[in-house]
């Protein structure tokens, strides 16, 4: 939250100067997180568009059926 970035943290217990210590490494994953959110937004928008198209195709089919009667 302080840096407004996304990180993947990895830690491991190691021996250092005869004592057990925890080594922790942080990988900045902000760019891939942004790409993931953009892809999610795009896929949701495509799904909404697909649903709208299906709705209007079905509606047009019903209108055409009524006109044939």
- pLDDT score for 1: 64
The H-assigned helical ranges of 1-69 are 30-68
First to last CA, the chain: 64
- pLDDT score for 69: 73
The pTM assigned to this predicted structure is 0.63
- pLDDT score for 34: 97
What digits encode the pLDDT tens for the residues 16-51? 999 999 999 999 999 999 999 999 999 999 999 999
């Amino acid at each position: 939250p302080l840096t407004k970035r996304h990180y993947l943290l990895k830690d491991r217990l190691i021996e250092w100067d005869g004592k057990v210590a925890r080594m922790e490494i942080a990988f900045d994953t902000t760019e891939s997180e942004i790409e993931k959110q953009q892809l999610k937004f795009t896929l949701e928008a495509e799904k909404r568009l697909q649903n709208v198209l299906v709705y209007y195709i079905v509606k047009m089919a019903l209108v055409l059926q009524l006109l044939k009667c």
